[in-house]
Amino acid sequence: MALLIKDQDVGALAPMAECVDAMEIALAEHARGHAPFYPRRVNVSGVAASGSGHSFGAQMGSVSALNIAAIRLNSGRRLRVRGEPRGPHTTGYMERDWGVVVLFSMETGELLAILPQFTLSGIRVGATTGVAVKHLARDDASVVGVFGSSKVARADLQAVAQVRPVRFAKVFSPNPAHRVQFATEMGDLLGIEVRAVDSPRQVVEGSDIVCCSTSSNTPVFDGEWLRAGQLVTSTKSTPRPRQPLSRSLRANYKEPVTAYRTEIDRTTLLKSDAICILSEEMVLNEQQRELLDPIDEGLISWDKVCELGPVIIGETQARKGPGDLIFYASTGGMGIQMAAAGAVVLRNARTKGAGKEVSYEWFSADERPWHERGYYPSP
């Protein structure tokens, strides 16, 4: 039987501590070569009959240690300009998110589960931030500053609290009501003091860990405010649009070239003693210029950049001392993140009897009638 799982059940089935552990396994396996993924920007943009834009995209990856392969499918209205603030105009029918994650067994190839991606996506981002903090922050880091107040910001703080002894957190959002709500709700959830502050500088100063968890198209703080020993995390990257390979198609390619739309300023990159990223392949494949431009200009060396996976398994080191200033950049979504978080949801759904079981007959084809006649047709 395959499981269908509702989005509103995902949060209870994905405890952050378990998701951090699973994400650490996935990233370590990737560093060892046992968790392949395809870079996230497998996107097709089109125009509906009504004239509205449509975007369809996919991420995929598998993790041998978890025996899970995952594909994430997104379907929705296309942003009029990439990086435009999110709102009802970017969502689908009835203002719902229509993305799904499909999980398969690597052992048998069978379909295991289908679930909405919305809640799971925030959890996988937070869990990855938690893994980064576990391996990059000072051991005694206990004060966290958060930029942002929505889904990812909440998941980030929750994950950080799983891997460090957080005693106090500060939050800034341009919307005063949102930052107060965040402080109240996250303080109650984590059992710590969370204070809404009135300026970005208050978030940075005195914080051991600064989490940037926004959709901002401009830097949310001045890198000059940073001090030795801090860890800065960022969940946003700016991929350049891919250009068609065909010369005839390229001549009619009208999508604008993306300018910098980043929540981190260049000063932060230049001041950091080390820059840790999720995937160099993604940075290059997507031409993430906020990092590549200073490298091409000779302001930053690739020697200063490392991937999180090799740090986890001890192949490389980012923080060499308590006084190092470290910057961690998510550099985008990976299919193995969905496989890791999805594995946690699936395991707990089976244990708790959650979800709806559906016969395999709905999702597979019986090849036996062909085999009995000596045919072995391809899928």
CATH number at residue 320: 3.40.50.720
Are residues 91 and 187 part of one domain? no
Domain identity same for 23 and 66: yes
pLDDT of 142-188, one tens digit each?
999 999 999 999 999 999 999 999 999 999 999 999 999 999 999 99
Q: What percent of the chain has pLDDT over 70?
A: 89
Is residue 59 in a domain? yes
Residues 268 and 338 grouped into a single domain: no
Residue 250 belongs to some domain of the structure:
no
Report residue 246's pLDDT band, with 50, 70 and 90 as the boundaries.
low
Q: By residue range, what is the domain housing residue 94?
A: 2-120+334-365
Q: 102 and 69, same structural domain?
A: yes
Q: What is the CATH number of the domain that holds 7?
A: 3.30.1780.10
- How many angstroms separate the CA atoms of 219 and 268, rounded? 10
Identify whether residues 322 and 339 lie together within a single domain. no
R_g of the chain, CA atoms, integer Å: 21
Same domain as 297, residue 339 = no
Q: In the prediction, which pLDDT does 49 show?
A: 85
Q: Clarify whether residues 113 and 239 are in a common domain.
A: no
Do 22 and 137 share a structural domain? no
> What's the number of domains the chain is made of?
2
Task: Give residue-wise pLDDT tens across range 26-82.
Answer: 999 999 999 999 876 677 778 888 887 888 888 999 999 999 999 999 888 765 444
Cα separation, 138 vs 158, in Å, equals: 18
Residues 209 and 298 in one domain: yes
How does the average pLDDT of the chain come out, rounded? 90
pLDDT in tens, 102-124: 999 999 999 999 999 999 999 99
- The CA distance from 209 to 167, in Å, is 12
Query: Same structural domain for residues 116 and 161?
Result: no
Mean pLDDT throughout 270-296?
A: 92
> Domain for residue 370, yes or no?
no
Shared domain check, 356 and 323 = no
Q: Are residues 173 and 233 in the same domain?
A: yes
92 in any annotated domain: yes
Virtual torsion, Cα 292, 298, 299, 300, nearest 10 deg: 60
The answer to the question of residue 376 being in a domain is no
